[in-house]
Homo-oligomer: A and B are copies of this chain.
């Protein structure tokens, strides 16, 4: 459970950590294999025995971010009882992410923009988006929305829009209008 100290991380874990930093900050295409292994302090052969290809390393990097986001979001949900509060908790978690100093946009949007069609990247992206949409839909239904799928889609648009705006407009407060809009849309959908 406790975090391992840097020296005792396995080669695979160090590779994933290095990939997470470099791919997220500079883009999956810009960053070459050599920079990843250099930061991880790992031999090139080790990377290829662990992941098989760069595409698979990228997929593992996205999968890791997906799991981390899911856990963070679910942990925030647990603090509330009502579906409506739980919906807003999703946007609270988003606000936390967007206001972090090294925020560089949604990793999935960025990776998808660089991905070749049919690459394993798209699989990871679909998984992440499917989970978030499903979560929003379920909460919208529990809240009693007349059309839960429609409300979930609208909230998903706000979620994505805030991620885009935070990066492209250099404004870490983009989650605030998203949150207010979400409140208004939820109220309208329940009335």
* Interface residue ranges, A against B (CB under 8 Å): 26-27, 29-30, 105, 108-110, 112-114, 116, 125, 129, 133, 150, 153-154, 156-162, 164-165, 167-169, 174, 177-178, 180-181, 184-185, 188
For A158, list chain B residues within 8 Å (CB): 154, 157-158, 161, 181
Query: For the complex, what is the distance from the CA of A65 to the CA of B188, rounded to whole Å?
Result: 36
Copies in the complex: 2
Beyond A113-B109, A114-B113, is A153–B177 a contact (Cβ under 8 Å)?
Answer: yes
- Whether A157 lies near B165 (C-beta < 8 A) is yes
- Whether B161 lies near A156 (C-beta < 8 A) is yes
- The smallest beta-carbon distance between A190 and chain B, in angstroms, is 12
Query: For the complex, what is the distance from the CA of A178 to the CA of B150, rounded to whole Å?
Result: 10
Grouping DSSP codes into helix (H, G, I), strand (E, B) and loop, the A interface class, with mixed when no group exceeds half, is helix
- Whether B168 lies near A154 (C-beta < 8 A) is no
- Whether A181 lies near B154 (C-beta < 8 A) is yes
For A150, list chain B residues within 8 Å (CB): 177, 180
Query: For the complex, what is the distance from the CA of A162 to the CA of B161, rounded to whole Å?
Result: 8
Query: For the complex, what is the distance from the CA of A178 to the CA of B154, rounded to whole Å?
Result: 6
Query: For the complex, what is the distance from the CA of A150 to the CA of B168, rounded to whole Å?
Result: 17
User: Which residue in B105, B161, B184 is a CB contact (below 8 Å) of A188?
Assistant: B184
Beyond A157-B157, A161-B161, A177-B154, is A29–B129 a contact (Cβ under 8 Å)?
Answer: no
- Whether A165 lies near B169 (C-beta < 8 A) is no
Q: Please give me the residue from chain B that is nearest to A189 by CB atom.
A: B184
For A153, list chain B residues within 8 Å (CB): 165, 174, 177
